[in-house]
Structure 1
Amino acid sequence: MACFPMIKTEERMTSLHASRSENEPDFQQRDLTLFKILSPHVCRALAISEMLDIRAIRSEMLENTLNGLVAGVFLTARDGHVVYLNHAAECQIKMGNAIHLVNNRIVPTDLAARNALAKAMKEAARDDAVRNMGEHFVAIPAGFGGGYVATLLPIESTQRHGIFASFAASVAVFMQDPVQATCMPGEAFAKLHGLTGGELRVLLALSQGLSGTEAADMLGISEPTIRTHLQHIFSKTGTSKQLDLLQLLHHSTPPIRTLEPAH
């Protein structure tokens, strides 16, 4: 038998074997020389295949993660062409009330927003953008009110050759609808601040825009009980007004979209 190792990692080891039966002649020097010539080419081919497989898995994992976000994610090349958009971004484009894709570029319907976004993307695509650029936000209004807030994130040159290399991305644009409702982090928020079940129910009722009277009717408790729960919630969360409390809850909302029921 003659063999050589091809891949050796902490998880696995792979080798190539050639064997002959007892009735066949032993391997000669010429056979071993051919084996030595062949071995580096086989190892190189397997190493390339291994790298491509890992890249494909990482890209798929990244794509699945981005598709779970509420915000639209647009990855753009240096010249502004969109090289990737997640599920939320596709929906925003289909709605067409604030942004369109024209020649594979993000084009807001509002002229002022169009110019502001183009300028911001040009700045974000610069090689020194990560060092010199702070947070950059652009308002993208819709024609009939509302719209999106675009947040631009320059991708470091080192990252452009890493996990984002398959997308050839230079700038990440996150397009968020400020009023888009997402699932409230009720149980986690309650555990974080030590709220009781009754206090959490009051908080979630108020977060839906109900008044104290309406919340009391819905929960089947008195208004004084609502006020008592609210005072306890203020104390536990370090807030003093209902507006501040609801803002704290809103800021704790996860940036992930609710999964659609299977049909």
Structure 2
Amino acid sequence: MAANAAVFADSLDGLDASLFLVDTDRRLIHANTAGQAMLDASDVLLELRGVLMACDSTVSQTLRQVFAAAGRGDQAHGINGLAISMIGLDGERHVAHVLSLTSGMRRNASAACSAVAALFVRKAALTILPRSEALRNAFKLTPAELRVMLAIVELGGVPEVAAALGVANTTIKTHVRRLFEKTGAARQADFVKLVAGYATPLRKPAECRQSVGATR
């Protein structure tokens, strides 16, 4: 079991996004390299006596509720579709996505380290990733679909993306529906893992598709 936990943790360390594994009481089980750097900066998230907290008290309370919900399973409060906006002490905006680890294959992956949720945190930059062309080619995405996928990862929900891109909510919903069809993703939160995989040189396209499939 310890070996499985080590392999699981190593696979997360290569992600560009800051990623944190936590238990139902917000105790930090693991932070990847980018996550540890964020904790060291203490401008968005921090670790206090082993507990993961946000610098913003309101966000910290939201995380408390979300991680407790994660312990009750994927369906609790629609946790896998949740995006949390964070403002760093430096004024930079970040978006956090929560992925429950308490069912199916994800439960097996996290059992060895007692984590109930993975928290992905990215700076909201709305920029095209250097390896996004590989992502676009792998799933035959149009330029608009690629931009919407990246915006979902950065900003979270349909209303936020529609406002950022200056289009109607219905337009974004249409793109999201096509993205589900092309990538095999089941929910918007799956886009986070997909994009993170293509942003990491250690991951191959086939592995990324399998990773998304494992969450369904």
Rounded to whole Å, the distance in 1 between the matches of 2:107 and 2:59 is 31
Match runs of 1:23-62 below 5 Å? 56=3, 58-62=4-8
Matching residue within 28, 33, 44 for 1:82: 28
Indicate which of 41, 59, 65 corresponds to 2:11: 65
State the TM-score, normalizing by the size of structure 2: 0.59
State the partner residue of 1:132.
76
What's the CA shift string for 1:205-258, capped at 9, x where partnerless?
xxxxxxxxxxxxxxxxxxxxxxxxxxxxxxxx666xxxx477258469941346
* Aligned partner of 2:147 among 222, 229, 247: 247
Query: How well do the aligned residues superpose, as a CA RMSD in angstroms?
Result: 3.2
Match runs of 1:187-198 below 5 Å: 189=136
Alpha carbons of structure 1 residues 93 and 246: separation in structure 2 relative to 1, 3 Å:
same
Q: After superposition, give the CA deviation of every residue in 1:51-82 in whole Å (9 maximum; x if it has no partner).
A: x6xx61x3333222211112222111222211
Structure 2 distance, partners of 1:62, 1:157, is 16
Residue among 115, 130, 145 paired with 1:183: 130
Read off the aligned partner of 1:130 and give its amino acid letter.
D
Of 155, 170, 194, the residue aligned with 2:101 is 155
> How far apart, CA to CA, are the structure 1 residues paired with 2:135 and 2:37?
29
- Alignment coverage as a number of residue pairs: 156
SS in 1 for 2:7: helix
Overall identity of the aligned pairs, in %: 17
TM-score w.r.t. the length of structure 1 is 0.49
In structure 1, what is the equivalent of residue 66 of structure 2? 120
By how many angstroms is 1:131 displaced?
2.8
Distance 1:78 1:159, change over 3 A: farther
CA distance in 1, matches of 2:56, 2:47: 14
Q: How many Å separate the matches in 1 of 2:131 and 2:10?
A: 22
Query: Please, which runs of 5 or more residues in structure 2 have no aligned partner?
Result: 152-190, 203-216
Is 155-164 or 104-113 further displaced after alignment? 155-164
CA distance in structure 1 between the aligned counterparts of 2:121 and 2:71, rounded to whole angstroms: 17
* TM-aligned CA distance change 1:189 to 1:156, over 3 Å: closer
Residue 21 of structure 2 contacts residue 29 of structure 2 at CA under 8 Å; is this kept in 1?
yes
Mapped to 2, the partners of 1:148 and 1:89 lie a distance apart of 13
Cα distance in 1, alignment partners of residues 61 and 108 from structure 2: 31
- Greater Rg over alpha carbons, structure: 1
In 2, Cα distance between equivalents of 1:189 and 1:76: 32
CA deviations over 1:92-112 (Å, ceiling 9, x no partner): 111221111111112111122
- The answer to which structure, 1 or 2, has the higher relative contact order (CA under 8 A, 6+ apart) is 2
1:225-236 aligned within 5 A: none
The reply to whether residue 170 of structure 1 matches residue 116 of structure 2 is yes
Q: Which amino acid aligns with 2:75?
A: R
Residue in structure 1 matched with residue 42 of structure 2 by the alignment: 96
Letter of the 1:172 counterpart: A
